[in-house]
Amino acid sequence: MFTVFFTHVQCSDSPPDVKPPQKKKKTPAEPCVKVRQSTAPFKAFLAAIANQPQKRQAIIDMGFGGLLELDMPKNDPIFCARLLSRYSVGSGSLMLRRGREIEIRDIDVHLVYGIPLGGLLVDDNKDNDAADYRLMLEEWREYVGVQRGSPYVSTMATQLADAAVPVTDNWKRTFLVVAVNCCIKSTLNPQPLTGFLSTTIDVNNIPNYNWCKYTIESLLHSACSWQEDTTRFFAGPLPFLQVCYFDRLQKELHKPPRAFPLLSVWKRELIRSRIDYEFRSGLAMGTVLPRIPAPMHGQQDDEQQQQ
């Protein structure tokens, strides 16, 4: 959309097809990926709870223990943009050179993040009028000290890490908001996404939801939006997409071990060196590997790996 400001100036008989003279859209040489929520607050939180075993155990009990391994470096906007450009929204796969591709499915999220593949669907824009949901949300907002919306992710992460703050149901809900916004799905504005909190009416039910499917849907929608206009923010699971790509496309001179969850392998320094190597060796070039076996889910992964 281009707003023309001067159409009212003596345009008595000028043709309506005014060509905007300012084509200087200062288009950068290459698209960049910008995110609203980085993993930085989450990493700070993890560092702060390193010696609080009850909080780590609560996260494991929720099914999000794999995220305790997260140690992403700062985003590389150019690399992320090139990677995201290769993600096909139509097929849900990363398109590689020579017509090869990596299909990305729910199970891949489980392999990277280790989060639950339960049977219940996470839906963040449905049935927000249920009484128990409204009541829960009201109590949660009182807990985090706001009357509407949500505090910023960094604020909540700091409070969660305070050793004087015990693990409660609302602590778990707040953790989920931080984790989802940093790793799975955020918004294009600075306010954290909270619509999925309907899954936490009973916090013991959190592991029974399919957080992997939720992550894939987030990737599809956010990639679609970003590819329409690459100047937008990206609100999808950027850490997942990168680590999944790193594991499945092996470089001849860069072969780290493969282990579940993949976040436990792909840490800051390894990711940095891999991205450096990407720029030198060529993106989307390498050997496509099959998925690693998933503990406890090996049975339902019957997808064929295409050669």
Partner DNA sequence: CAAAGAGCACGAGACGTTTG
Partner DNA sequence: CAAACGTCTCGTGCTCTTTG
Residue 129 CB, shortest distance to DNA, in Å, is: 7
Task: Answer for the pair 95, 284: CB distance below 8 angstroms, yes or no.
Answer: yes
Q: Is the backbone peptide bond immediately before 31 cis, with ω within 30 degrees of 0?
A: no
DSSP the chain: ----S-TTSS-SS--S-PPPS-------SS---EESS-SHHHHHHHHHTTT-HHHHHHHHHTT-GGGGG-------HHHHHHHHHTEETTTTEEE-GGG-EEE--HHHHHHHH---B-SBPP-TTS-TT-HHHHHHHHHHHHHHT-SSS---HHHHHHHHH-TTSPP-HHHHHHHHHHHHHHHT---SSSSPP-GGGGGGSSGGGGGGBBHHHHHHHHHHHHHHHHHH-TTSEE-S-HHHHHHHHHHHEEBTTB-----SSGGGT--HHHHHHHHHHHHHH-TT-SEEPPPPPPTTTSTT--PPPP-
Question: With CB under 7 A as the contact rule, which of the stretches 55-63, 101-109, 229-237, 282-290 interacts with DNA?
Answer: 229-237
Minimal distance in Å, beta carbon 240 to DNA? 16
Residue 32 near DNA by CB under 7 A:
yes
Pick one of 144, 193, 241, 263: the residue that binds DNA (CB under 7 A): 193
Closest to DNA by CB, 41 or 116: 41
Question: 74 or 255, CB closer to DNA?
Answer: 74
**Which residue, 62 or 178, is less far from DNA as judged by CB?**
178
204 binds DNA (CB under 7 A): no
For DNA, the binding residue among 166, 190, 282, 293 (CB under 7 A) is 190
Closer Cβ to DNA, 144 or 153, answer by number: 153
Q: Which of residues 169-188 bind DNA (CB under 7 A)?
A: 187-188
Report how many residues bind DNA under the rule CB under 7 A: 31
Among 52, 85, 191, 281, interactor with DNA by CB under 7 A? 191
Binding mask 117-156 for DNA (x = CB under 7 A): ------------x-----------------xxx--xxxx-
Does residue number 37 form part of the binding site for DNA (CB under 7 A)?
A: yes
| Binder of DNA out of 65, 77, 92, 256 (CB under 7 A) | 77
Site residues (CB under 7 A) for DNA? Answer: 32, 34-35, 37-38, 40-41, 74-75, 77, 129, 147-149, 152-155, 187-191, 193-195, 225, 229, 232-233, 235
